[in-house]
Chain A
C-alpha cells in the first residue's frame, strides 16, 4: 500500500509565476489536509478537503491560494503569482474514513520562489 504521494518534491518558481502542488492520498483515504511549514517554523494548517468538497479553509490565505480535490485525480494546491514569502515546505496528509484517526503525511513539496 503506497503512502501519500506528493509531486513535485522540489519546485522553483520566479516571482509572479504559478505553483501547482499535487497530492495523492493513501489508498482508501478520503480526507486530505494541506499544511505549510515556513523555514525554521512549525506546521500550520491550510485547508481540509474531501472529494469535490472543501470542508475547512480557515487556514488558507485569502488571496492567491486555492485548493481542490476532484472526483478523479489528485488534490491540487495552487498558488498564483507567487511571492518570496511563499517559499516553504508544503505537506499533504490523508486520513481514512474516520477523520479522527492519525493523518499520514507525504514527503512534502519544497517551494522556492526566486
Chain B
C-alpha cells in the first residue's frame, strides 16, 4: 500500500541555519510522482516541486534543494540559510498512475524559524 512518512513533527531553527526535512515513501508502482507543498500560517497550499520516479537528479531552486534517492525511498528537502518567512508546515506527497494520481500526503513537518 502507498504511504508517506514525515517522521519530524516539528523543527525549530534559528534564522540562517540550514534545515533538512525528511520524507520516506512506500509504493508498489514503478511509475510515480513525488511532491512538496508548503502551508504557511495563512493556510493556503503552495506547490514547491514535482519529481517523477525516473528522474533521480537532485534539484536546486534558490535556497531550496531536493534529494531524491530511490534506493532508500526518500525525497528530502533542504532549506539553506533559512529565513523567518520559511516558517510553515511542509507536506511531502506521492501520486501513482494506478491510483488516479490522487495525492497521498505525509502528516507534515512544522518548521519554525526564529529570528
Total number of residue pairs linking A and B with CB closer than 8 Å: 57
Chain A residues contacting B101 (CB-CB under 8 Å) are: 31, 48, 95, 99-100
Do B108 and A103 touch across chains, with their CB atoms under 8 A apart?
no
Chain A residues contacting B91 (CB-CB under 8 Å) are: 42-43
Main secondary structure of the interface of A (DSSP, over half): strand
Interface string of B75-114 (1 = CB under 8 A from A): 0000000000000000100010101111111111000000
Interface string of A76-95 (1 = CB under 8 A from B): 00000000000001010101
Chain A residues contacting B45 (CB-CB under 8 Å) are: 43, 91, 93, 105, 108
Counting chain B residues whose Cβ lies within 8 A of the other chain, the interface size class is 20 to 34
On A, residues with C-beta under 8 Å from B are: 31, 33, 35, 41-45, 48, 55-56, 59, 89, 91, 93, 95, 99-105, 107-108, 110
On B, residues with C-beta under 8 Å from A are: 33, 35, 37, 43-47, 50, 52, 91, 95, 97, 99-108
User: What are some 17 contacts across the A-B interface (CB < 8 A)?
Assistant: A31-B101, A33-B102, A35-B105, A42-B91, A45-B102, A48-B102, A56-B100, A56-B102, A93-B45, A95-B101, A99-B101, A102-B47, A104-B47, A105-B37, A105-B44, A105-B47, A108-B45
